[in-house]
């Protein structure tokens, strides 16, 4: 069956071992995590995981429900690319002498909207944000023309195209409905 | 029970358990849990601690206790090998939704991660097989963690929780103040009943000409037996049960049509593929129930009542999900459904009952051959208790035969390892069941294989004088595997033949009374002797060596392809 890239957004309490609890659920079904990004969310004390996997709709639905079921998980969602604004960031380290030997780099910088993070006599660090294909394209071009000393790409971060962070409403709802103070 | 002076973490821990109503603990002491056992010494009037002979036994005993009583089973063991020994029972409780709190000792927090003596990553190991696993590293966390553990274990769809208790936290002195846990913002144990779902499901039921209900353990866990009966009676809906749904309906209830699945009854399996509306209640469409999913109830509209949303559409696509506890949803549904008769449909089960009786049951419970069969022993024991006993089984042929031929008049009368299929479950689970329901007779059936997997628990039975009635159905084979070898592996009996010890002599060494029976004419007297008092007893029955459990739906076959022999 055709597999699609799904982006999972998981909100959790910030407790020890949470990542393990999530990855176990992928492991059981033999699913590879393509990208992973974890950070504190807009709500204090709550962490947000953004995970991408290739899967069928049927499997991703079940996996997200099984993640959501874990006690320390506040909410798990999944989306396809068309429902999201998403971004990755990549850093490229290049030998300064080879870069200078190439001559002008203005075209390169304009073409890829590159930011230069550091420049010294030994190396230059480029930064590029974009979708996977875009950061990959720059990597390919640099590899072929100048050579890349080091390359690193982050996991995806994503935001939905709907207005509010969905968790805020949900938390309020839970607190009023179930929370006995 | 607030204290004025500071107390040790170990004492705070015991006081926390008392707050949760714990009066029975199954455990085994060791280095990393010694402060807790030391504190327990002062609470012997409040807590009955049962010393098992192996930590696996402690976990299964806690399961048996929980399953018959509805209370949370509690295990207390040390770190390292004790924790790994407990894994089987924890996994079993997860699969079968049994409320249990397992406390493991752990090395002091300063040593964590250093490969200290008897250190093992208990939280890491148990996370995939628990509802919640938490490591208590400081004494201030104790009351909070225990409260949360019991709330999680018993609420919603129950399950096991592990508390890994670092030794330094057992020694530290704290002010103790206990507050029960009633709410966790990231955890909604019981989904709210949705009226639209009830209306949609009721509409399907009201249109049905051939409705059929599948009863799972969710009914028992929700204490919804009366609601189930009212629902089935109002709609005149025939029903069948899963292995863990056994005893939710009494055997003689007219709408009870029998046992589902691989070794279930013919009618319920065939009718699954004939009904027009299938109503699954607190069950999870296990592969042993459904057989080949692509040929399972395709003609029917499917209604699924469950407390766990992740079960909806997991194995079978559902037309009308109904979320909530079976107690609430069945009551709401009963209000909305019409009184109906479905008499032709109900009558149509009879033909299959008669066919199965003639081809299978008759031979099994009233054999004409010289050798004793498993089915006749089970039926005789059941009848000798007026069908009022609690049945505990091990795993394999003994389990399937017991599920088929034991009869029930009361709920919470069947304790078995369903999801995990743990051989060795029988003896310790029976101990726990007897302690959880001391006024009832507990009959445990095991094969000669499974009995020897936890045979050391005879020591616990001796020491505590736990009045369990143990019956070994001895065929000198690992019977279920042998059956598969006969049917699917050309009778190549690879390592299934067993040379057994003198079980009665072993029982005698543990000062447990027992009898061995090989001839049919001695069976009734032996059963009567076993049931004459409330003391532990071992009955060994040498049964036919190559008995088969039929009917059978082979793995991967459809429920319609059920074999009668």
Dihedral of CA A103/A107/A108/A113: which sign? positive
Structural Rg of chain A based on CA atoms = 20
Q: What is the DSSP letter of B558?
A: B
Q: Domain with B201 in it: what CATH number? A: 3.40.50.1220
What is the C-alpha separation between A139 and A149, in angstroms, rounded? Answer: 11
Q: Distance between CA B372 and CA B247 in Å, rounded?
A: 26
Q: Of B292, B314, B348, which residue sits at a domain end? A: B348
- B138 in contact with chain A, both atoms CB, cutoff 8 A: no
Chain A residue with minimum CA distance to B121: A17
Q: What is the pLDDT of residues B400-409, one digit of tens each?
A: 999 999 999 9
B152 and chain A: CB distance < 8 Å anywhere? yes
The strand pairing partners of A125, in sequence order, are A93, A118
Mean pLDDT of A18-44: 93
Predicted confidence (pLDDT) at residue B300 exceeds the cutoff of 50: yes
Contact B55, B459 (CB under 8 A): no
Chain A residues within an 8 Å CB radius of B132: 71-72
Read off the pLDDT of residues B236-278 as tens digits, 9 standing for 90 and up: 999 999 999 999 999 999 999 999 999 999 999 999 999 999 9
Q: Which residues of B touch A73 (CB under 8 A)?
A: 186
Cβ A128 vs Cβ A134: under 8 Å = yes
Q: With a CB-CB cutoff of 8 Å, which residues 51-70 of chain A face chain B?
A: 61-62, 65-66, 68-69
Please indicate whether, in this complex, the C-beta atoms of B186 and A73 are within 8 angstroms of each other: yes
pLDDT, one tens digit per residue, over B473-489 is 999 999 999 999 999 99
Q: Is the model's pLDDT at B149 over the cut of 70?
A: yes
The structural domain count of chain B equals 3
Q: Do A71 and B127 touch (CB under 8 A)?
A: no
The answer for B 403-432 residues in CB contact with A (under 8 A) is none
Contact A65 B192 (CB under 8 A): no
B353 located within any domain: no
| CATH code, B29 | 3.40.50.970
Residue B236 lies in a domain: yes
What are the DSSP calls for B276-287, one per residue?
A: SEEEEES----H
Q: In the structure encoding, which two tokens stand for residue A159, read together? A: 């935001």
Q: Does A174 touch chain B (CB under 8 A)?
A: yes
Closest-CA residue of A relative to B181 is A180
Q: How far is CA B344 from CA A97, B254, B515, in A?
A: 90, 14, 49
- For residue B181, being part of any structural domain is answered with no
Beta-carbon contacts of A86 under 8 Å, excluding residues fewer than 6 positions away, are A7, A131, A156, A157, A158, A159
Residues B328 and B459 placed together within one structural domain of the fold: no
Q: Are B478 and B445 members of one domain?
A: yes
B149 and B25 part of one domain: yes
Is the pLDDT score of B324 beyond 50? yes
Neighbours of A114 (CB within 10 A): 18
Q: Give the pLDDT confidence of B10-67 residue by residue, as tens digits.
A: 999 999 999 999 999 999 999 999 999 999 999 999 999 999 999 999 999 999 999 9
Which residues of chain A have a CB within 8 Å of the CB of B152? 71
Same fold, A4-79 and A87-153: yes
Rounded distance between C-alpha atoms, residue A112 and residue A100, angstroms: 18
CB proximity B135 to A under 8 Å? yes
Partner residue facing A180 (CB), from B131, B132, B182 = B182
Cβ–Cβ of A69/B310 closer than 8 Å? Answer: yes
Q: What are the chain A neighbours of B127 within 8 Å (beta carbons)?
A: 17, 20-21, 24
Helices B397-405 + B374-384 axis angle, to 10: 50
> At which of B292, B317, B348 does a domain end?
B348
Shortest Cα–Cα distance, B315 to chain A (Å): 10
Mark yes or no for CB contact B310/A171 under 8 Å: no
In a domain, B365, yes or no: no
B428 backbone φψ class: left, alpha, beta (φ>0; ψ -120 to 50): alpha
Question: Considering only A81-95, A120-134, A166-180, B125-139, which range has the smallest mean pLDDT?
Answer: A166-180
Q: Is B479 helix (H, G, I), strand (E, B) or coil?
A: helix
Claim to verify: residue B377 and residue B429 sit in the same structural domain: yes
Is the distance from CB of B292 to CB of B554 less than 8 angstroms? no
Residue B549 lies in a domain: no
Tokens of A167: 């968790």
DSSP B105: E
* pLDDT tens track for B385-402: 999 999 999 999 999 999
Q: Residue A155 CB: number of other CB atoms within 10 A?
A: 18
- Residue-level pLDDT at B4: 64
The C-alpha atoms of residue B227 and residue B327 are separated, in whole angstroms, by 6
pLDDT digits (tens, 9 = 90+) for B493-535: 999 999 999 999 999 999 999 999 999 999 999 999 999 999 9
Question: Is the pLDDT reported for residue A180 higher than 60?
Answer: no
Q: Which of B153, B308, B310, B323 best tests the A interface by mutation, with the highest count of A CBs <10 A?
A: B310
CATH code for the part of the protein at A87-153? 3.30.70.1150
Q: How far is CA B415 from the centre of its chain?
A: 4
Asked if the Cβ–Cβ distance from A12 to B186 is below 8 Å, we say: yes
Q: Are B241 and B256 in contact (CB under 8 A)?
A: yes
Residue A29 near chain B (CB below 8 Å): no
Would B186 be classed as within a structural domain? no
What are the distances in angstroms from CA B545 to CA A33, B341, B368, B444, B448? Answer: 51, 46, 16, 20, 11
Provide the pLDDT for residue A140. Answer: 97
**Could you tell me which chain B residue has the CA closest to the CA of A12?**
B186
Task: Using CA coordinates, name the residue in chain B closest to A72.
Answer: B186
Top residue of B95, B109, B112, B187 to mutate, by most chain A CBs within 10 Å, is B187
Under an 8 A CB cutoff, do B124 and A20 touch?
A: yes
Task: State how far the Cα of B160 lies from the Cα of B90, in Å rounded to an integer.
Answer: 6
Smallest CA–CA separation between B313 and chain A, in Å?
8
Q: Chain B residue with minimal CA distance to A15?
A: B134
State what percent of residues in chain B have pLDDT above 70.
Answer: 99
Strands B513-517 and B537-542: parallel
Query: What SS3 state is found at A129?
Result: strand
**CB-CB under 8 Å, A71 with B152:** yes
Give the residue numbers of B annotated as catalytic, written as ranges: 55, 117-118, 167, 480
In a domain, B457, yes or no: yes
Write out the residue range of the structural domain in which residue B106 sits.
7-174
Residues B45 and B102 both lie in one domain: yes
A122 touches B at CB < 8 Å: no
> Could you tell me the two tokens for B332?
């709401």
B539-560 pLDDT tens trace: 999 999 999 999 999 999 999 9
How much of chain B exceeds pLDDT 90, in percent? 99
Quickly state the pLDDT bin for A181 (edges 50, 70, 90): very low
Cα–Cα distance for residue pair B92/B88, rounded to 1 Å: 6
Whether B156 and B199 map to the same domain: the answer is: no
For residue B63, give Cα distances in angstroms to A93, B19, B173, B405, B449. Answer: 58, 21, 33, 23, 21
* Residue B3 banded pLDDT, cuts 50, 70, 90: low
Residue A177 sits at the chain B interface (C-beta within 8 Å): yes
Amino acid A169: pLDDT: 78
Whether B121 contacts chain A with CB within 8 A: no
Examine the domain organization and report whether B314 and B216 are in the same domain. yes
Select from A62, A71, A171 the residue whose CB has the most chain B CBs within 10 Å, as the one to mutate to test that interface: A71
A178 pLDDT band (50/70/90 cuts)?
confident
Token reading at B471: 């019956």
Interval B329-366: pLDDT, tens: 999 999 999 999 999 999 999 999 999 999 999 999 99
What mean pLDDT is reported for chain A?
Answer: 92
Nearest CA in chain B to A173: B185
CB contact (8 A) between residue B131 and residue A71:
yes
Q: In this predicted structure, what is the pLDDT of residue A168?
A: 77
| Residue ranges covered by each domain of chain A | 4-79, 87-153
Closest CB to A71 among B128, B135, B187? B187
B224 pLDDT above the threshold of 50 = yes
Mutate to test the interface with B, among A178, A179, A181 (most CBs of B within 10 A): A178
* CATH 3.40.50.620 is the classification of domain A4-79: no
Residues in chain B: 565
């Amino acid at each position: 069956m055709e597999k699609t890239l799904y982006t999972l957004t998981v909100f959790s309490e910030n407790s020890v071992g949470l990542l393990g609890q999530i990855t176990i659920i992928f492991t059981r079904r033999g699913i590879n995590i393509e990208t992973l990004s974890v950070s504190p969310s807009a709500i204090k004390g709550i962490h947000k995981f953004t995970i991408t996997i290739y899967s069928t709709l049927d499997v991703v639905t079940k996996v997200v429900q099984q993640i959501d079921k874990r006690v320390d998980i506040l909410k798990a969602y999944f989306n396809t690319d068309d429902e999201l604004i998403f971004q990755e960031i990549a850093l490229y380290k290049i030998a300064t002498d080879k870069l200078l030997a190439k001559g002008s780099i203005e075209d390169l910088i304009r073409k890829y909207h590159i930011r230069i993070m550091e420049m010294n006599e030994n190396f230059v660090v480029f930064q590029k944000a974009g979708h996977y294909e875009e950061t990959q394209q720059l990597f390919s071009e640099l590899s072929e023309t100048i050579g890349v000393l080091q390359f690193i790409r982050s996991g995806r971060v994503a935001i939905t195209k709907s207005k509010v962070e969905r968790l805020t409403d949900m938390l309020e709802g839970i607190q009023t409905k179930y929370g006995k103070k | 029970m607030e204290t004025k002076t500071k107390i040790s973490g170990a004492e705070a821990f015991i006081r926390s358990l008392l707050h949760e109503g714990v009066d029975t603990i199954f455990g085994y002491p060791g280095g990393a849990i010694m402060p807790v056992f030391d504190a327990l010494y002062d609470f012997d009037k409040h807590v009955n601690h049962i010393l098992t002979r192996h930590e696996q036994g402690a976990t299964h005993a806690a399961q048996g206790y929980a399953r018959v009583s509805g209370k949370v089973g509690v295990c207390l063991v040390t770190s390292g090998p004790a924790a790994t020994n407990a894994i089987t029972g924890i996994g079993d409780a997860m699969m079968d939704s049994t409320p249990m709190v397992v406390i493991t000792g752990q090395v002091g927090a300063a040593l964590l991660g250093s490969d200290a003596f008897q250190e093992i990553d208990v939280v890491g190991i148990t996370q995939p097989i628990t509802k919640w696993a938490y490591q208590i590293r400081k004494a201030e966390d104790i009351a909070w963690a225990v409260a949360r553990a019991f709330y999680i274990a018993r609420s919603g769809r129950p399950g096991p929780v592990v508390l890994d208790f670092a030794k330094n936290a057992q020694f530290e002195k704290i002010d103790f103040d206990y507050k029960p846990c009633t709410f966790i913002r990231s955890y909604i144990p019981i989904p709210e009943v949705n009226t639209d779902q009830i209306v949609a499901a009721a509409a399907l039921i009201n249109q049905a000409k051939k409705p059929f209900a599948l009863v799972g353990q969710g009914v028992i866990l929700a204490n919804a037996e009366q609601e189930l009966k009212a629902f089935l009676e109002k709609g005149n809906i025939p029903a069948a049960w899963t292995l863990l749904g056994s005893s939710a309906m009494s055997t003689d209830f007219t709408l009870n049509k029998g046992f589902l699945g691989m070794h279930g009854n013919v009618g319920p399996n065939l009718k699954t593929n004939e009904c027009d509306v299938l109503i699954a209640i607190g069950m999870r469409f296990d592969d042993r129930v459904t057989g080949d999913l692509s040929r399972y109830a395709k003609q029917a509209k499917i209604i699924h009542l469950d407390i766990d949303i992740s079960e909806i559409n997991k194995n079978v696509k559902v037309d009308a999900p109904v979320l909530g506890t079976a107690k609430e949803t069945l009551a709401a549904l009963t209000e909305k459904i019409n009184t109906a008769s479905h008499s032709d449909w109900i009558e149509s089960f009879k033909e299959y009952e008669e066919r199965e009786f003639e081809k299978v049951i008759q031979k099994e419970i009233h054999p004409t051959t010289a050798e004793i069969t498993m089915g006749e022993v089970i039926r005789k024991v059941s009848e000798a208790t007026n069908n009022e006993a609690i049945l505990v089984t091990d795993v394999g042929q003994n389990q399937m035969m017991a599920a088929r031929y034991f009869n029930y008049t009361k709920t919470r009368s069947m304790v078995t390892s369903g999801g995990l299929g743990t051989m060795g479950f029988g003896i310790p689970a029976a101990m726990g069941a007897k302690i959880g329901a001391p006024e009832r007779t507990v009959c445990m059936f095991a094969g000669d294989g499974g009995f020897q997997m936890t045979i050391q628990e005879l020591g616990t039975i001796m020491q505590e004088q736990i009045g369990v009635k143990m019956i070994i159905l001895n065929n000198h084979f690992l019977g279920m595997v042998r059956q598969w070898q006969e049917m699917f592996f050309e009778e190549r009996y690879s390592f299934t033949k067993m040379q057994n010890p003198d079980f009665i002599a072993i029982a005698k060494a543990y000062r447990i009374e027992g009898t061995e029976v090989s001839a049919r004419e001695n069976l009734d007297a032996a059963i009567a002797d076993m049931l004459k008092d409330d003391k532990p007893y071992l009955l060994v029955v040498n049964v036919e060596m190559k008995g088969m459990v039929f009917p059978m739906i082979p793995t991967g076959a459809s429920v319609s392809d059920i074999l009668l022999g």
